Amino acid sequence: MNTPTPEADLLLLLAVVLPPRALDVLGPVVDERFVNTTYGDIGPLALRRNPGGRGVWVQPYSGLPSRTDPRSTLLAARKLGVQRVLNWDTAIALNPLLSRGNVAIVTDYIDFVRHQPNTFFESEGITGIDQSPPVCPHMSQALAQMLPMAPGVVYVGVDGPRRETAAEARMFRQWGGDLMGYNLVPEIALAGELELCYAGVTTVTDGSADRFSYPSQGEMRVGLSLVLEALPRFVELLAAPATCACAERLSAPRKGGLLANDWWMQE
């Protein structure tokens, strides 16, 4: 079965708290959709589109343990014809050079998630696939173009909602982690298995438990505004055909394995 013609090829997973009308910068809501998958129902996903512009699906997201199985989120994206997923997350700064309100672009990750399914392959006896690079270079370059002040970071994915201990923060920093959060892992690996382009942008909410936390002075408002203002242009930049390896895998004929015969469309 062929992939359906997409109404929008980008899904924004929104793991930040914004004012009610903030996403109007992406256009009004022109459609809402519930999607049924083997792992649970997803929705409503809102389709936003500016007149004459490109559409984008938006799904509020939470890393709480009670969240819907993350596999259903990525399967719903494929069923809608989505090819690219952008996860906008909040994160805790492990790197002392990062502070509240800073924006960062995820370039790599460490998976320390223990209570969420991290693969579609468990029942297939397959151990994994090639996921190099871990994030889509085409999308990451577009983010860097729109957010030149944002450094590339290594994101440590952990289970929420418990905060880290000071000892855990020191351990994650020694591992090479710059930020810690709840929403990009295991989604980033699941997207790779479904051959989706995936990128992550984060807004720092606080420093890690082993660092002194200063009272907020509006830094989060500034950091959120930077990403929000960049989103419409980012969506338009993705109009150019992707030349990344993940996009090449998505368009290539499937030769076997779990993705053979578009199994995700036949549930």
pLDDT of residue 218: 84
Q: What is the pTM of this model?
A: 0.87
Tell the burial category of 48 from Cβ atoms under 10 Å away from its Cβ (0-12, 13-18, 19+). Answer: buried
Q: For 188-212, what is each residue's pLDDT tens digit?
A: 988 888 889 999 999 999 999 998 7
Contacts of 55 (CB under 8 A, 6+ apart): 7, 8, 10, 27, 30, 47, 48, 49
* Residues 136-174 pLDDT 10s: 999 999 999 999 999 999 999 998 788 999 999 999 999
Cα distance between residue 57 and residue 15, in whole Å: 14
Alpha helices (runs of H) in the chain, residue ranges in sequence order: 70-79, 137-146, 166-174, 187-193, 219-237, 245-251
**In 29-185, which ranges are E strands?**
29-37, 40-49, 55-60, 84-93, 103-111, 152-157, 179-181
Domains of the chain: 10-265 (3.40.50.1580)
Longest dimension (CA), the chain: 55
